[in-house]
Structure 1
Amino acid sequence: MKVKRYKLVTYLVITLGICLYIFFEAPNLNPFFYSDGAFFWAVVITLYVGAWALMHFGELTFQFTDRSERPFNYVPNEKFPRWTKLLLALPWVFFIVVLVGSSFIFNWKAFRDQLGTSEVVEFSASMQAVDLNQVPVVDQELAVRLADKKLGERAGLGSQVRLGSNDATIQRVDGKLVWAVPLYHSGLFKWLTNMSGTPGYILVSATDVNDVQYVENFKVKYQPGNYLLHDLTRHTRFFGAWFDGITDPSFEIADDGQPYWIYTTYRNRRGFSLPEATGAWVVNATTGEMEKYTIDTIPEWVDRIQPEDFIIRQINNKGEYVRGWLNFADKDKYRASAGHMIIYNNDRCYLFTGMTSVGGDDSAIGFIMVDMVTKESIVYQMPGATEMAAQGSAEGKVQHLGYDATFPLILNVEGQPTYFMALKDQSRLIKQYAFVSVANYSIVGTGETIPLALRDYQQGLKNSGIAGVAPPASEQAVVTGTVERIASEVSGGDTVYKMILAEHPDKIFTVPALVSDELALTREGDRVKIEYTEGDGIISQATVFDNLAYTQK
């Protein structure tokens, strides 16, 4: 075979290898703001220039006929000129210089300030860190189990698809807090026979374990890890994001039920360091249609753009470099807690986590909520127990049952910052709930329902001499009237009384049995006094009950 032919084959092999790599790996091709893009082009330049130099300044031969000879042989004709060596070294020098220049040693202030200035507030009795109407009791693990159970109810479907467990996303869909769990192809042959996509997704209520819905009107054609051009990353790259940094695709549902992938775009602020979210590619999971948005122009139904690992890293950087990078004594250093969660407050999506001193114990120095779209942050200054310590305290109270606590969030209970969490058994099902004081995590209230756990916790506060702060008067109402109808029912092991007063026939008052011992003695015709929280519907939850007829007797 002639030498020129060898040269052509060599170039074709290199080109084919690069094309296959681009197709299967879908790399970022931007070399200026991303380390993976710079590394890719450094390798490409090295391969082409190196192959050209080897063949131009020497003889590259292949021997396959005589086994005694080496199959590969290179005989140099002359030395490589300086410009060739410079061309080979230049991309690697660029890569190494930018990599070193991106380090925290030269950019510690940028590392410290990337999160931006947080709004710092102190916890007060009037503050609600998390909206009580949006408290999620179902975590991702339980949501996936409930979705798997729902999938098993569809005969034959379980053999065709699998749950996208790692991509289950908590979000608000048409005003309802849910987990959205996509369905993926369970294998190559299942994909070949259903190339239009998997038949929908499953919605699991984050506030009610009994509310699980299978949605089959929308196909999920584009999926992470799918085949050929139906792979989400490959599709996004090839149809617009060649030179974009993209990361952390999240599965979100528009209010009309259409599933989308929100693929975050980012750019490094200092060389190859400090990735900063800039917007997102919104990809229709059914049709593959794509549109690029900035943070300011993103549709309102999109709940989050900021990747969770970006936010946690920025919180840690702010605490690590609070006094520069030469702070070997760790003065004033802090970091995010070992866990975090996604919560919703006033219809906005936030990352919530505690902050603890570096090298500290079970004490938190405060808590932070970061908006997952705009990255605006609020820091609550309230020292107390960390989330891990609170979990341990709650598990300790039910250690004879062997329950595990979920990651907690903070509520305002009678003016006291309080951790709230669910307690799960070995089957990972919710069995109880727990409230733990942030200020004193030895104060724990547990119960099989949230009202029972809250009642137990309130009693613990009283026993510890902590005076509760009543909710604002505008949220409470007091009524006195005659009992027209009363009945009790047992739900989840708890007795709840329901009654209608003759003077207020348009309202049903529900009163847990633990609110008052007088409930069991109450009959139609008794005069009673009820304090309750005003609700939007006809059912109102009572917090105080007094049977005036019984008291008079």
Structure 2
Amino acid sequence: MIYFLSLLALTLNPFVWKKKIRNKRFIAAQTGRFVLGLLLVFLMTYFRLIDHTWQAFLSYGSLFWGFFLLLDMMYKKEKTVSVNAAAGLLLLLFFAYLHFLYPLTVTKAKYDFAAAKTTIVAKPEASMDEQHIPVVPEKYARYKSEKVLGELSHVSYYELGHTSLQKIDGHLYWVTPIEYSGFFKWLKSHKIPGYIRMSAENENANAVLVKKEMKYVPSAYYFENLKRLVRAQHQTPILFDPSFEPDESGKPYYVVAYGYYQKLRQIPEIQGVYVVDPQNGKIRNYTLKNLPGFIDQAIPSTVAEAWNTWYGENIHGFWNKLFAQEDMKRPTEWSQSDEVNGVFDHNLELNWFTDFTRPKSGSGAMVGYSMLNTRTGKMIYYASANGLLNGKSAMNVAEKTFKQNKYEAGIPNLYTIYGQETWVVPLMDSNHVLRELMLIHGKNENVYSAETDKRTLFDSYKYALATKLGDDHAVPTDSALLKKMTGSITHVYRYYDEEAHQTVSQFMVDNNEKIFTVTSGQNPYSVFLKAGGQVSFQYVDTNERVSAVKTLQIEGKK
């Protein structure tokens, strides 16, 4: 039925047809116009895969139909042809208005749409389980995946697809689908051997090939193309970019989000997803309210980027965005990455994360950050993050720390670790090989840990929190990190820290092999510690031999 629109390419003036119906040149011209109309409809439906809706017709058809109506000016001597030309000109003006002026008039409406999905809260209440904090950067995962890809037979047929962070069986992985490298490679193969998976939690893990043959993928052609397969069965919804998501058993699926536009194709609203089995092409439809548990991403990153931008920049409408910029904030822009990053929260639910800064160029502090749930589309904005380092500043701190090594910082992510908002920053060499891991305190860039392994990294960060945040008695807030001990001192060692201008005392107590460290800044009486004295204290428990004392009570001293 959609191809009947090709008839609009013909001259729609009965007086012209009546006079020239026997004119061969006229019939040839009309035939050419009809063929051109067929070609345009084919291109828009087969390649662009546009939705079959009246909004799509207005958005695209006004340009093409207006052009064909203006072509009727070649018959300007005939009756009412001027009406055709005027209608064509109006359609072209409508197209220009719809695409260039109308979007400016709905600037505030876009903010209202995003704000309706947003809840403003203070800082997160729960700390992230360090086991599930990904420390492997995407670039390193792709570097490892390239090695696995190179081991395939007929490797020239394939290339890596888009790498995404996924939760599979309670753990986080970087998952990369394999795609065809071109049309002729698809003709020769007609099957994808599987996908590549690598732990995002374990920096020592290797990428592995999961052998699951697939036929319907985004890089295939004709009706083996994933989105074309979906469009053939579902003509009216807007189809968004697919995501690759294996289930808990490792079986691969593609998830194609669908929805509709508001405000004449200006505001995308996600309604649900089509889940495609790439092995047999079977499609299932799920709304956002009844998504299967294994699906992490129902809201595409491009949609999340738009919603965040509207929420930050459009608060008081177009003119404020252009001039005064009152109450305006901008999401961080990354040069080689999406503006939003996938972050799993303490419930292991995927969120699109981005931090916001002031419109002023070069601002190093954020004014807040957002977490957009990728299953529900609901967004939480954390306003209390005002003054924290933004993502780019965290990258700068990491790269300057290893300036001599010339390491490149990966995209950082912000987590609540031990009750403190903390940037997790991986560092790689020029070949994208992971070399160092850093945890950087969100408010104080001088409080950080840098290690080559995850376990030591977090232990060192506990120690840094306890010793470098001075009088912040709320650190660390996770009570599981603080332990109490009472005992008799067996050994004491004391030295003066010239950099900190204070005396550091290290001591041991009976029946314990740990070495405890306390400074004169924490407790001025600590300089009088001696063997045989009785002490009660709280310390930061780590797996290291040396632990930092948080509070110290010496017998006989208040």
Q: TM-score, normalised by structure 1?
A: 0.75
The residue identity in structure 1 corresponding to 2:218 is P
Residue 436 of structure 1 aligns with which residue? 440
Q: Does residue 232 of structure 1 match 2:226? A: yes
TM-fit CA distance, 1:362 = 0.6
1:285-336 per-residue CA deviation (whole Å, 9 max, x = no partner) reads 2222223332223322211121223222222222223233333332221111
1:46-89 per-residue CA deviation (whole Å, 9 max, x = no partner) reads 576667x57xx85xxxxxxxxxxxxxxxxx65244455345545
**Structure 1 residues 185-200: aligned runs within 5 Å:** 185-195=180-190, 197-200=191-194
Residue 424 of structure 1 aligns with which residue? 428
On the 8 A contact 1:204/1:212 being kept in 2, the answer is yes
TM-fit CA distance, 1:213 = 2.2
Give distance in 1, aligned partners of 2:84 and 2:227.
Answer: 36
The residue identity in structure 2 corresponding to 1:38 is L
TM-fit CA distance, 1:428 = 1.0
1:165-217 per-residue CA deviation (whole Å, 9 max, x = no partner) reads xx22211122221122111223334322322x21111111111242422111x
Q: Does residue 173 of structure 1 match 2:168? A: yes
Q: 1:291 to 1:86 in 2, by over 3 A?
A: farther
1:403-430 per-residue CA deviation (whole Å, 9 max, x = no partner) reads 1222222233443322121111122111
* Structure 2 spans left out of the alignment, 5+ residues: 1-22, 335-339, 487-512, 518-536, 548-558
1:215-258 per-residue CA deviation (whole Å, 9 max, x = no partner) reads 11x22212223222222232222232x23211221111122333
Residue 278 of structure 1 aligns with which residue? 271
**Aligned match for 1:389, one of 393, 400, 407:** 393
On the 8 A contact 2:135/2:200 being kept in 1, the answer is yes
More displaced, 423-432 or 9-18?
Answer: 9-18
The alignment-based identity, stated in percent, is 21
Q: Does residue 244 of structure 1 match 2:234? A: no
Residue 375 of structure 2 aligns with which residue? 373
The residue identity in structure 2 corresponding to 1:191 is W
Q: 1:3 to 1:135 in 2, by over 3 A?
A: same
2:192 match: secondary structure: coil
Q: 1:115 to 1:264 in 2, by over 3 A?
A: farther
Q: 1:331 to 1:83 in 2, by over 3 A?
A: closer
Give distance in 2, aligned partners of 1:531 and 1:444.
Answer: 19
Give distance in 1, aligned partners of 2:34 and 2:109.
Answer: 48
Give distance in 2, aligned partners of 1:22 and 1:111.
Answer: 30
**Aligned match for 1:289, one of 258, 275, 282:** 282
**Structure 1 residues 114-263: aligned runs within 5 Å:** 114-123=114-123, 127-128=126-127, 130-154=128-152, 156-164=153-161, 167-195=162-190, 197-209=191-203, 210-216=205-211, 218-240=212-234, 242-263=235-256
**Structure 1 residues 262-411: aligned runs within 5 Å:** 262-327=255-320, 328-339=323-334, 340-345=340-345, 346-359=347-360, 361-380=363-382, 381-382=384-385, 383-411=387-415
1:506-528 per-residue CA deviation (whole Å, 9 max, x = no partner) reads xxxxx9x9999xxxxxxxxxxxx
2:248 match: secondary structure: coil
Give distance in 1, aligned partners of 2:244 and 2:117.
Answer: 30
Q: 1:45 to 1:369 in 2, by over 3 A?
A: same
Q: 1:8 to 1:515 in 2, by over 3 A?
A: farther
Give distance in 2, aligned partners of 1:103 and 1:42.
Answer: 17
TM-fit CA distance, 1:115 = 4.1
Give distance in 1, aligned partners of 2:546 and 2:538.
Answer: 5
Q: Which has the higher helix share?
A: 2
The residue identity in structure 2 corresponding to 1:84 is N
On the 8 A contact 2:70/2:89 being kept in 1, the answer is no
TM-fit CA distance, 1:110 = 3.8
The residue identity in structure 2 corresponding to 1:138 is V
Residue 45 of structure 1 aligns with which residue? 65
2:308 match: secondary structure: helix
On the 8 A contact 2:366/2:389 being kept in 1, the answer is yes
1:389-412 per-residue CA deviation (whole Å, 9 max, x = no partner) reads 111112111111111222222233
TM-fit CA distance, 1:443 = 2.9
* Structure 1 spans left out of the alignment, 5+ residues: 59-75, 481-510, 517-528, 534-540, 547-553
1:263-304 per-residue CA deviation (whole Å, 9 max, x = no partner) reads 222322212312222222222222222233322233222111
Give distance in 2, aligned partners of 1:332 and 1:323.
Answer: 8
On the 8 A contact 1:280/1:292 being kept in 2, the answer is yes
Give distance in 1, aligned partners of 2:461 and 2:365.
Answer: 21
TM-fit CA distance, 1:31 = 4.8
Give distance in 2, aligned partners of 1:272 and 1:389.
Answer: 36
Q: Which has the higher strand share?
A: 1
Q: Does residue 449 of structure 1 match 2:450? A: no
Q: 1:356 to 1:7 in 2, by over 3 A?
A: closer
TM-fit CA distance, 1:151 = 2.2
Residue 488 of structure 1 aligns with which residue? none
Give distance in 2, aligned partners of 1:478 and 1:215.
Answer: 48
2:229 match: secondary structure: helix
Provide the aligned length of Structure 1 versus Structure 2.
469
Residue 78 of structure 1 aligns with which residue? 78
Give distance in 2, aligned partners of 1:136 and 1:515.
Answer: 31
Residue 536 of structure 1 aligns with which residue? none
TM-fit CA distance, 1:135 = 1.0
More displaced, 401-410 or 82-91?
Answer: 82-91
On the 8 A contact 1:342/1:351 being kept in 2, the answer is yes
The residue identity in structure 2 corresponding to 1:403 is Y
Give distance in 1, aligned partners of 2:151 and 2:183.
Answer: 24
TM-fit CA distance, 1:376 = 1.5
More displaced, 318-327 or 336-345?
Answer: 318-327
TM-fit CA distance, 1:543 = 6.2
Residue 63 of structure 1 aligns with which residue? none
Give distance in 2, aligned partners of 1:221 and 1:329.
Answer: 53
Give distance in 1, aligned partners of 2:480 and 2:402.
Answer: 37
Give distance in 2, aligned partners of 1:422 and 1:319.
Answer: 28
1:259 match: secondary structure: coil
- CA RMSD between the two structures: 3.6
Give distance in 1, aligned partners of 2:160 and 2:412.
Answer: 26
1:109-150 per-residue CA deviation (whole Å, 9 max, x = no partner) reads 4434424253333337x532x442321122222111111112
Give distance in 1, aligned partners of 2:411 and 2:37.
Answer: 50
TM-fit CA distance, 1:475 = 7.2
Q: 1:364 to 1:92 in 2, by over 3 A?
A: same
Residue 32 of structure 1 aligns with which residue? 54
The residue identity in structure 1 corresponding to 2:131 is N
1:278 match: secondary structure: strand
